[in-house]
Structure 1
């Protein structure tokens, strides 16, 4: 994530509220661990059941957090990423008064096959933050519903915003797609293919990292069109300018809880065309978003062509998207919701 995206911004905003004394500890993935750290991690994790993404860095971070909490009589530890940073604390929280709450980011579909975590992780929590409403009922298998709280992901609506001055009028219509996690690249390729054949004025900016699971065949199909541009390793500033120059967000998805790209595009004043899966419905409104059933290529293509044919209506829908993002998902709004959860736990 860039400096203006990602869940860590929640904790920065919570600190600004000053409703309580807050401390943040973050893992440095590039930090070189001291010799023997893996053995120490294995020792500290005895009896715990962390997820596959958990690392020795995670264990040492949890250890530091627990020791700090006991020394300073901290009431609540919030683990920002349950799937990555919750192992050691499974064992320790019952030994003190500090309560542990964690945010789950991956959809229930990955929990069902234990790809992202396991029931033992959830059962030991004092509170669970979910990023989409449908996950509330799923996790009641392991945790009472009164301990499960829906608090949405947020977005920096000051940075991700429409251009200060109207951009020069352009004859082309530009769609933007970004990211790689749980993206449906097969659908993306087919939609772009069909739109390229049916409308000569539509262009696409695709922000796809090199690590994406984009097959060579799909990459060749996308990039054979001069009107399709691939962007990689771009700055936050370049990204926001791509949003500001776009006409809509196109987001074919396999599954989702929260989705940063949808929020970024909405905050920049773009209407949305996305797959109706997971928690997408919790972050959009019919005034600016078209949700399409999975694998409905034609349905997605038709919505793109409608945007191309109705620029004024699309502009109105874009303003509705911006207003919705500011009202519901700006970080100050989300931080207030999270502070109420802390107060309940405290």
Structure 2
């Protein structure tokens, strides 16, 4: 099988993070052509011309060149896959004319899509959705039988539990900024500080510097119990997962959340809201989830973990097992290949029927 990939790289992700890691796990029977943007002068100049002509002002010239390069490879490959659909919606009319054997992966929950964005999905023949909760919503724009649900994977050999003796009970982790419910977090934070163990706690935020100056964080940004971290190496990020006691991270909405996937793999119990795609990743079954805005219930769940280490550790084990069984990139890559084969098989059937 010849596979044509249009990839992106998220600026603050390291080598072991991001959906693009998928490409490292395909079996040898899959021949890969991976296209992503770079900063070469010619590519930027070409992209700038197309940007001006097409008025794609929200897309960088380098990305536009990558999109055209990807499109030109479509006819020479069995399947073409856009890894991050939301970044490339504007090219769907172009690539749809070139090849029907195209699939794109949807990451964001539907609440983050404008109607204009959603209408462009009519050009998409096949989609991979990283969680199952909103299949019905997206099927208003893509045929239900053309939506394939595959979870976001994780490198289980890198993101793994550390030594239990290194876990610090007072060390609480919060990772990322997008769709995080900082307002709910602060309400939980205030309640926890009033508890018997409140004086012991430390809250560690891993958020890129550029995203820290938001109003929602103002009440805690100068607290001596709050610590901000950024620019971490992969190993430094892993150490936070392995040595923290809980991931306390309420969400406004969620598709597949990288931080939650990595916490699950490292056996760091997740305390979050019951929203979006959280249940696709074990919420409600592997770890308890809380209704959005119910900060008292979230504080109570935190207290349950804090006062019962055996309970906390049992959830850690269940999360790790869930990752081994359902989130291992090797498993996820095989599921992608199955989808590709199904798409090719469906097209062959249509071709026979036409004849």
Residue number in structure 1 paired with 2:312: 314
Mapped to 1, the partners of 2:115 and 2:271 lie a distance apart of 29
Q: Please tell me whether residue 103 in structure 1 is matched to residue 105 in structure 2.
A: yes
Tell me, yes or no, if structure 1 residue 194 matches structure 2 residue 223.
no
Query: Once the 2 structures are TM-superposed, how far is the Cα of residue 66 of structure 1 from its aligned partner?
Result: 2.1
Hey, what does 1:4 align to over in structure 2? 16
Partner of 1:143: 142
Post-superposition Cα deviations, 1:49-80, rounded to whole Å, max 9, x if no partner, equal x7x8543333211211122233xx21111001
Which residue is equivalent to 2:119?
A: 119
1:65-104 to structure 2, matched below 5 A, reads 65-70=70-75, 73-96=76-99, 99-104=101-106
- Residue 54 of structure 1 contacts residue 86 of structure 1 at CA under 8 Å; is this kept in 2? no
Q: 1:202 to 1:113 in 2, by over 3 A?
A: farther
Task: Tell me the CA shift for residue 196 of structure 1.
Answer: 1.7
Q: Note the C-alpha offset of 1:232.
A: 1.7
Query: Is it true that 1:64 corresponds to 2:104 in the alignment?
Result: no
Does structure 2 retain, via aligned residues, the 8 Å contact 1:184–1:252?
A: yes
CA-to-aligned-CA distance 1:231-262 (integer Å, 9 cap, x gap) = 12211111110111111111111111000111
Q: CA–CA distance in 1 between the matches of 2:239 and 2:329? A: 21
CA 1:269/1:261 → structure 2, altered by over 3 Å: closer, same or farther? same
Describe the SS at the equivalent of 2:317. Answer: helix
User: Counterpart in 2 of 1:275?
Assistant: 273
Q: State the shift of 1:88 in Å.
A: 3.2
- Between stretches 322-331 and 229-238, larger displacement belongs to 229-238
2:28 is equivalent to residue 26 of structure 1: no
**Cα separation, partners in 2 of 1:100 and 1:245, compared to 1, 3 Å:** same
CA distance 1:162–1:345, change in 2 (3 Å): same
Q: Per the alignment, do residues 249 and 320 of structure 1 end up closer, same or farther by CA in structure 2, a change over 3 Å counting?
A: same
Deviations for 1:248-306, whole angstroms, at most 9, x for unmatched residues? 11111111100011111111112111011111111014454121111111111111111
Q: Deviations over 1:160-180 (max 9, x none)?
A: 1111x443475x332211000
Deviates more, 1:19-28 or 1:209-218: 209-218
Query: Which aligned runs of 4 or more in structure 1 are off by greater than 6 angstroms?
Result: none
After superposition, what is the alpha-carbon deviation per residue over 1:80-102, rounded to whole angstroms, capped at 9, x for unaligned?
11111243352243245x52111
Give the deviation of 1:324 after TM superposition. Answer: 0.7
Unpaired segments of 5 or more residues in structure 1?
A: none
Whole-Å Cα distance in 1 between the matches of residues 209 and 323 of structure 2? 29
CA contact (8 A) 1:174 1:245 kept: yes
* Structure 2: distance between partners of 1:82 and 1:191: 35
Distance in 1 (alpha carbons) for counterparts of 2:40 and 2:188: 42
Cα 1:203–1:269 shift into 2, 3 Å: same
Q: Aligned partners of 2:231 and 2:81: how far apart in 1? A: 31
Give the TM-score, by structure 1 length: 0.88
- Call closer, same or farther: CA 1:289–1:157 in 2, change over 3 Å: same
- 1:254 alignment counterpart: 252
Alpha-carbon deviation of 1:41?
3.6
Contact 1:79 1:86 survives alignment (8 Å): no
Which residue of 324, 335, 338 corresponds with 2:336?
338
Report the secondary structure of 2:86's partner residue: helix
Q: CA deviation at 1:25?
A: 1.2
Q: How far apart, in 1, do the equivalents of 2:293 and 2:89 lie?
A: 35
Contact 1:41 1:60 (C-alpha < 8 Å) held by counterparts: no
> Separation in 1 of the partners of 2:288 and 2:211?
25
User: Which stretches in structure 2 are left out of the alignment for 5+ residues?
Assistant: 1-12, 345-355
SS at match of 1:230: strand
- The DSSP-based 3-state class of the residue aligned with 2:24 is helix
In 2 relative to 1, CA 209–294 (structure 1 residues): closer, same or farther, beyond 3 Å? same
